[in-house]
Structure 1
């Protein structure tokens, strides 16, 4: 069943340069779409600080959110709500309007991860909800995905911008030697940064998602 993705920029109203932040975000979205071309409907801004996209599988959606988190520079973060369910549209004179259970579930997921972030797990950024009309298997997948996402986000949230770049590269199979050359540092420094951040678990998780 398809997965609708809704994202919003954390603290967008407090950003010192909102237009510049949007440009950074647009570039990150384009990079991820190029490196991982799995979207059924490309992630794009819709209104204010929100974005929407559609993916064929939960694995594709979760892999995309990971790369996007890793691609963003310091100071710009997003929350992601993933909704499993039917994806529909309402025809309009100004263009189709996204509608349906998957979108409602994605909106609920955004609210849940926001509450989780404020209440108990500050590092949480991503949540999955199985929408109306889904079956027990979809609900189980959502629960298992959230167990993974809570741990993944806790690893990614405290990473430095450089470490995120390194993890992004490793997810795509770039060698540590090549990453060291790109960053102008030693291979030993790359290895140490990845090890300290727990990157191996994030990279392995990404590889497993590609088959999910």
Structure 2
């Protein structure tokens, strides 16, 4: 069962340099795809500020999105909708068009993420939706994934730019000594930042999820 992902850039119309933001996003997507869970189809720009991709499992998609959220600068943030269901291709002039229940579910998911962000949960950036034909066990797993995503997004939203960089580095296996050198701070400062920001919990969840694909 593959998982489709639709991502859009938050507030893209108000960005001072839209082209530069897209270049930054493309570079970080490529970096995460090289290190993290390889996508069946890497997130690629489609129309406007939207990117689309496909991952083998929800765990792989959530792992990749965690890395992206940590690596992206504060002024280039994305929303992510994950769809579970059948993936189809519709033949068309110039190539096939991605279609099917998984894509429709991903579209609903990103709409839900946007609605949550605009109302009850401003920090919400990630949502999972399964097609209604999926089994009850899949629907139950989606509820757990969404609960996790809400808490994760809230934690990331409260982090400083440095804390996100350090957490990203720890997810990638870099030592505190290496991170201290890259930030030009002491190892003690790295340890304190990671401890106070909740980074350890994010790194632990990344390890848990990555156990499904490493």
On whether the aligned pair clears a TM of 0.5, the verdict is: yes
Corresponding residue number in structure 2 for 1:6: 6
C-alpha contact (below 8 Å) 2:37/2:64 kept by paired residues: no
* 1:102-150, Cα deviation, whole Å (9 max, x unpaired): 1000000001111111111111100000114211111111100001000
**Aligned partners of 2:12 and 2:95: how far apart in 1?**
26
**Aligned partners of 1:68 and 1:106: how far apart in 2?**
18
* 1:71-127, Cα deviation, whole Å (9 max, x unpaired): 111211000000011111111122211101010000000011111111111111000
**Aligned partners of 2:132 and 2:140: how far apart in 1?**
14
Corresponding residue number in structure 1 for 2:73: 73
Question: 1:63, CA displacement in angstroms?
Answer: 0.4
Task: Say whether 1:50 aligns with 2:55.
Answer: no
**Aligned partners of 2:210 and 2:91: how far apart in 1?**
33
**Aligned partners of 1:132 and 1:143: how far apart in 2?**
13
Task: Say whether 1:108 aligns with 2:108.
Answer: yes
Corresponding residue number in structure 1 for 2:128: 128
Corresponding residue number in structure 1 for 2:145: 145
Corresponding residue number in structure 1 for 2:88: 88
**Aligned partners of 2:133 and 2:88: how far apart in 1?**
13
Say which SS state the counterpart of residue 38 (structure 1) adopts. coil
**Aligned partners of 2:32 and 2:105: how far apart in 1?**
24
Residues 184 and 66 of structure 1: CA distance in aligned 2, closer, same or farther (over 3 Å): same
Say which SS state the counterpart of residue 208 (structure 1) adopts. helix
Task: Say whether 1:205 aligns with 2:211.
Answer: no
**Aligned partners of 1:84 and 1:50: how far apart in 2?**
19
Question: 1:36, CA displacement in angstroms?
Answer: 1.0
Corresponding residue number in structure 2 for 1:191: 191
Could you tell me which runs of 5 or more consecutive residues in structure 2 were left unpaired when the two chains were aligned.
none
Say which SS state the counterpart of residue 122 (structure 2) adopts. coil
Could you tell me which runs of 5 or more consecutive residues in structure 1 were left unpaired when the two chains were aligned.
none
**Aligned partners of 1:20 and 1:193: how far apart in 2?**
29
Say which SS state the counterpart of residue 103 (structure 1) adopts. helix
C-alpha contact (below 8 Å) 2:37/2:60 kept by paired residues: no
**Aligned partners of 1:89 and 1:3: how far apart in 2?**
15
